[in-house]
Amino acid sequence: MKTLAASCLLFTILMQGIVAAQAESSGPDLWDVTGVRADDVLNLHADANVQSKIITGIPHDATGLKNLGCTGEPTFAEWQRMTEAERKQSTHARWCKVGYHAQQGWVAGRFLKEAENVLKRQQPTRHGAWEIACEATCVLEQRGRGSKQPALLRIEPREGSNAQISIIGPGIPRQGTLTIYMDGETISQGPITPFAEEDGHQIVMPPDDITAGLLRQMARRKNMVLSFPGEERGVEIQLEHFEDAWRKVLQQKG
């Protein structure tokens, strides 16, 4: 009887160890953001703590964040010993490293859930400095150059071949002037305020004659510089391969 009891105990311990290992190593390939207010963003941090540098703000309804691993989760054995209150509290200790379009960083794990519609998502493809990221639809992105924390340029197809153009990054101003240069020539200049998002992370230009004109110019030029307060030196965008990459995005849309 003692031998049987010991065998059962050993089996239980082994099973707990297996489950614990699975709990620590398992997880979805992709996350969706959850529990963030519609007027707020999920901060993407450089490290797994709230004091670390904020890389960017992820929209409250973002989907398809790549799971790069989480930390701060209790083991299965620890979870078994917890009360319901302790289990709920433990979710606040979890931080997860994620890939969001062309960026990587850490987010609070309690704002993540397993992604839905996974089959609709594809791995990003590159065309020169451009990246095509596809979920339910495709967008064209490029991380700028020329500063310590350069902004991300995102171009989303809207209204036929036109686009919504967004400049995304930490500390995006809500006032001042945005000037767009191409090959050293001033192409567009205007106030930021009408296009600044409340979260302070984005300038969003909706599809209109201005964005249509910018797309035409980008197809003919080699270099673009975005200049605005905090980025007076400018965020440099390489325009090689733009026309081909944008055509592929529009084909995916169709």
Q: Are residues 109 and 134 in the same domain?
A: no
Range of the domain at 153: 122-253
pLDDT digits (tens, 9 = 90+) for 152-164: 999 999 878 899 9
209 and 90: one domain?
no
Are 85 and 70 found together in one domain? yes
Same domain, 92 and 11: yes
pLDDT tens-place string over residues 50-100: 999 998 899 898 888 888 988 876 666 666 677 877 766 766 778 999 988
Q: Examine the fold and report which residue of 118, 148, 179 is the final residue of a domain before the chain moves on.
A: 118
Q: At what angle do helices 209-220 and 242-253 cross, to 10 degrees?
A: 130
| pLDDT for position 199 | 64
Query: What's the CATH code of the domain at 39?
Result: 2.30.30.40
180, 195: one domain = yes
**Do 71 and 150 belong together in one domain?**
no
The dihedral sign for the CA sequence 178, 184, 188, 190: positive
Q: Among 72, 96, 118, where does a domain finish? A: 118
Q: Is the pTM of this model over 0.85?
A: no
- Give the CATH number for residue 173: 2.60.40.1880
Instruction: Give the residue from 74, 96, 118 where a domain finishes.
Output: 118
User: In total, how many domains does the chain have?
Assistant: 2
CB 199 within 8 A of CB 41: yes
Under a CB-based contact definition with an 8 Å cutoff, are residues 129 and 161 in contact?
Answer: no
Q: E strands along 86-191, which residues? A: 95-100, 103-108, 112-114, 125-127, 130-134, 138-143, 152-158, 162-168, 177-182, 185-191
pLDDT digits (tens, 9 = 90+) for 180-214: 999 999 999 999 999 987 766 889 999 999 999 99
Instruction: Say which residue, 64 or 245, is predicted with more confidence.
Output: 245
Per-residue model confidence (pLDDT) at position 151: 86
Indicate if the pLDDT at residue 245 is higher than 70. yes
Which two structure tokens, joined as six digits, stand for 9? Answer: 């105990």
> Do 82 and 204 fall within a single domain?
no
If asked whether residues 78 and 193 sit together in one domain, one would say: no
Give residue 75's pLDDT: 64
Q: What is the pLDDT of residue 39?
A: 87
pLDDT at 147: 65
pLDDT of residue 166: 93
Whole-number Cα distances in Å, 13 to 87, 91, 134: 22, 25, 44
pLDDT the model gives residue 53: 92
Residue 119 has pLDDT above 80, yes or no: no
